Structure 1
């Protein structure tokens, strides 16, 4: 990762600190693997319709209807438990209130064990916020025990409107290969679970994105979609302004040839156990919402190709939270450390539904080809 490389636009700037070490001085062979990326630094706010944004109002063709999803959805089905099912499972026999109290008690045990963990704090905030929105049920009105299962349904009678994910101007994300004649990228998705998307997982469970390439000068209409009805809560993002910053990334070790991997591991070993940084966490991939750059594969690296044979380009990384190693915290927010949890800084989009995040790839030869989606 190189030194800070600038930010564009009139919004506040966020600046990635210089890396703890110039990795090219140690391993000049990595220069051929450098990739441009843009950290978007989302912060909750009210973006203008013509600006790059997360889940904000969009410029839209006046004669184009708002898109809906016609793919099968994996939906939750609740039904009354049979007597046999209640006999088999003590958990089913619990009243809803008793069951919730039991879960809360276990949750508090976890909070007590990890009082400074920002991920636990984020989960706690969402968990109790969700409970506060559930109306109390009088004891005499407690429903019969239920079984919760899933079922794939096609929303034929009431098509589900898509929700905005990002709108990005080419001036803010110059590393993206926009199709000729376009300068605005819009990604929307259906916020329900789907199982039939193109990607690496044999069993995909996630949202269904749609990608639109536009020419801003031809869009005179502004649209601000209303709240999404139903869907998975973590797939309906909070509205954010973005603050683009252009950086350079290097691959995760798993994406490098084995000889280079061995050089990195040998170099890290020479630093000793007391080193305050390492290659994977501090010198290769930036955390947070970003375009371009390199992917992070938590299990194994993958080669991504389009059906046409062309290589595919990492368009967007939407992570489960903005926080990474403290060395990546913007200079303007360096007082924040891994032990401090601030939802608006650490989790501004409130995206959830993946252990690490969602990766969206496009064909390098023709971005209009079907995208490739991975949930990590």
Structure 2
């Protein structure tokens, strides 16, 4: 990373006192989510891994903290006029839910492309949802127009000291529960969460390293801090941190307080979502799994450390979650698609199936391909989806098929 600014707490927009005050303000109205030791992940990575389950907040994300802190700091006049935000994600839910509890009118502007389930959920929290534009930028611009026209207070998802202070209360609780934590691994989107957590970390009684994590497809804060210009685009699993432009306030705080930023590939995000469900029996979205993804990608970097990771959100589409889990099974060798060349004659498939039976591998689906193939007219390709115990079991099956004379290959995932 670039050389850090020589910043003191008084130079920055948010201080440890701001975060402590925010915690006193909001703590009775949010879930005090647990910070729990993961023995399995600790054994797997060589670090002592503590997980903060912010996916257990009512709206399943830490965003409630900053939204509530901001609402409580508004004047009575501002509360009466109402608040507005542009968001299709966790910020919308957190703001709408807490505004309804406090009797503050809330308007959320979302792109017209927002999935219906998110619109319905936000409306269910009592917000007035306005659909405008095809992109977030268009929705954001319209929200600022409505702010000016109607006297609403705009609540930014990350680039606001009140939001940052609220987000930092996550770290207050983690260090109260586990004072021995010496490293935070924290997702970065716009930078609100890591700015608040770093404020707390650098005021702790012993040094706490703060490591940020971004998806490789959206290295926006990495670019800002390091002066690079890597592209920010693509379909990332971690859409909650897929931010093209980080905040000005947050960039200042990250530059001053954060020790390093790591980038993680999509495959690591998928693996982490799957591992958290299998090991911790908890559902996280891609952004919520980014901290673990960085730990898995860089085990030597964190070996021997006492690591605190925020599972910052759990709002993931169920169909997407199913795809992630199935892809992880395929990569581990428990699910596979084998492509086998056969002769188009009676008994051909039966003879192959006997080998699957002998190796005790379950056949799930069979696909014959006779037309769109480069084989002679009497040849065919058969794809067989199957379920094995593990990678070694699958490899024994493939070897048995090849020994029996069948040309066999595996269809690999990206």
Shared fold per TM-score greater than 0.5: no
Task: Using structure 2 for the length normalisation, give the TM-score.
Answer: 0.23
Greater fraction strand: 1
Larger Rg: 2
Greater fraction helix: 2
Task: Using structure 1 for the length normalisation, give the TM-score.
Answer: 0.25
Q: Higher RCO, 1 or 2 (CA under 8 Å, sep at least 6)?
A: 1
